[in-house]
Amino acid sequence: MAIPKVTPTQAELNSTKPGGKHRADKHGHKHKHRHGHKRRRHKKHRHHVRTLPAPPPAPAPGNPARPPGEQRPAGSYPGGFGIPQATRLLNRAGFGPAPGQAAALASLGLVGAVQSLTRPSGPATLSGPAPTDDEGHPLAPADIWGHDHLWWLDRMIRTDQPLVERMALVLHDWFATSEGGVSKAQQMMDQSNLFRSACFGSFLDLFRAVTIDPAMLQWLNGDENVAGAPNENYAREMMELFSLGADRGAYTEDDIREQARALTGWTYEWSAQLGSHNFRFDPERHDPDPKTVFGQTGNWNWEDAPRLCVENPFHPSFFVEKLWSYFVATPPSQATRERLIATYTSSGLQIRPVLEEILLSPDLYEGPPMVKPPVVHLATMLRAVGRHIDTTAWVWLCNQAGQQLFWPPNVAGWDDNHWLDTSRMRARWNVVDYLLEGIAVDAWDEEHPYSETETAEEALARALASWGNPELLPEHRAELLDFARRAEALITAEWEQGPYRALRQNALLQLIGISPDLVLQ
C-alpha cells in the first residue's frame, strides 16, 4: 500500500476563495434507535488553531541497543528495542503511542516493556476529559444508540492499561456477540467487562464464564436449549469458532448434538420494563442422561462442556494459532508453534504466558505490517493528536469503515479481508477528515493569517509534528515532500501566499492520516 501521487490543480486550489467556507459541513446518517431516542443531524464544530508554534524535532530512531544486563527468554526478538519497536508493540498490543510514550516504553527494554503491558497493577485509570456528545452532554451508553461504542472508544483512548482494552477487543471478536441479539446494551458492556477481567487468566475459566454470559445465552440461543429439544447453536460455535476449529477432524456432528444436550438448562425472564433478566440454571430444563462427547461418556453439564473442549487434543494448537493471528501477520513456524503449545499446556491453559511469548517474538518486530482495525486506527489517531470523545460522529463513521463496537456482522466476528476495500478506505478518509477538525488550519482567518513564507520542508515538519511525529517510510516522506513542493509551485498571486500554504498544510495532515504508515501497524 503506497501513498497515491496527488497533484493539486489550480481549479482545486481556487475552489476556496477569500470569504468562502473552508470545507463543506457533513451530517450524520439515519440509524435504527433503541428505546425510542431520535438521532439529531450531526452538527460539526470547528476549533481552528490560533497559534502555530514551531514543531518539536522528530525523535531520531537511531540504532537502539539492549539495556545492559537485560535477560530475554529463549526465542525472543534479538535486536535492539528502540522507538520503532516500541511503537509497533503499542500499535499491536494497544492503540498506538501518545506523544512521548514510545520513548518511555523503549527505555524499559523489550522484556520490561512487554511486562508493563501484560502485568498491570490494580484497576485501570482513565486520564483526561470524560467523553461527551456534540453538545457537551455526558454519554448514556446503556440508553442511547451508539453511546456504547463511544464509551468503549473512550476507554481505548484514555486507559493506562492499553493491552487490557486491546485484549477485550480481541475477545469480543473471538467470542463475537452482537447487540442485535440481546435486549439491553448494558449486557454487551457487561460482557466486555468480563473480557477485561479475564483476558490474562485461565482460558477455561473465561470459556465457562462466556458460556453462561447473558449476552451469549441470548445471542446463541442458550435459553432455547432444553431437554428433549436441544438447540445446537452454541455447541457448534464453541467447537468450530471458540476452541477447536472447523475441518480439522476435532469433532463430529454427533459430538455437537451430545454437547448441546450437556448445555441444556439455562433460562431467564423478560419484561417490557427490564428486558431479559434473572438468568439462571433450571435443573428441570436440563437433560440428566449420559452423553458421549469426544468419545467420553458421562452425565455432562454446562460446566463440563467447555472443559471437554479444552481437553480435546486439537485445542492447544487452535488456541495459540488464533491468539497469534491477532498480533502477527504471518503464521508461526512449526518450532514457534510447538513452543507456544508447550507454554500453554504447562501453564494450565493460562493466557498471559502465551501472550507474553507472542509479544516477545521476533516475528512481531521483523515481520510484515498488519492492517489496523478501523476502531484501532481511529483510537490511535485520537491519542496521537490528543483529542478526546466530543462527537457522536465516530459511531456512524466507524460503521461505514466496517467496525462498530458491539455490532460484529456475525458469530465469526469481523472480516478483516475487506477493511481496505474501496468503500471502507473512503470511510477511513472521512474519519481522518473529521478528526482533523481540531488541528486543521483556517486558510481565511484574517486576524491570524498563515505564514506566507513557509517552505515545503517546514510544512511537512509541522504536519508531522501535529500527528506526534510518526515514523514514515523514506519513500512516503519523499512523496509528501514532493507534493508540498508541487502545491507551492501553483501559488502565483500575492493574495494566495498565506491561504494556499494553509490549504497545503491541511492536505498534508489528511494525507499523513490516511497514509500506510498510520493505517498499518
Check residue 279 and report its DSSP letter.
E
The rounded distance, in Å, linking the Cα atoms of 375 and 171 is 15
Among 308, 227, 307, 305, residue whose Cα is nearest residue 266 = 227
The rounded distance, in Å, linking the Cα atoms of 463 and 428 is 19
pLDDT mean by block of 10 residues, the chain; 521 residues: 43 35 34 34 33 41 59 93 97 95 96 97 96 97 97 98 98 97 96 98 98 97 95 98 97 98 96 93 96 98 98 98 97 97 98 98 97 97 95 97 96 92 94 92 92 96 95 96 96 94 97 96 91
Q: What contacts 55, CB < 8 A, 6 or more positions away?
A: 461, 462, 464, 465, 466, 469
Q: Is 193 exposed, middle or buried (0-12, 13-18, 19+ CB in 10 A)?
A: exposed
Q: What's residue 46's pLDDT?
A: 33
Rg (CA), the chain: 26
Instruction: Please report, in angstroms and rounded to a whole number, the separation of the first and last CA atoms in the chain.
Output: 12
Q: What contacts 154, CB < 8 A, 6 or more positions away?
A: 126, 130, 131, 139, 388, 389
The rounded distance, in Å, linking the Cα atoms of 164 and 121 is 11
Q: What's residue 280's pLDDT?
A: 97
**Cell numbers 467420553: residue:** 296
- The DSSP element (H or E) to which 10 belongs, if any, is helix 10-14
The DSSP result for 21-55, as a single string, is: -SS----------STTPPPPPP----------PPP
Per-residue pLDDT reduced to its tens digit, 275-293: 999 999 999 999 999 999 9
The residue length of the chain stands at: 521
Q: What's residue 418's pLDDT?
A: 87
The three-class DSSP label of residue 278 is strand
Global model pTM greater than 0.85? yes
The three-class DSSP label of residue 447 is coil
Q: What's residue 53's pLDDT?
A: 39
Find out whether 187 and 180 touch, Cβ atoms under 8 Å: no
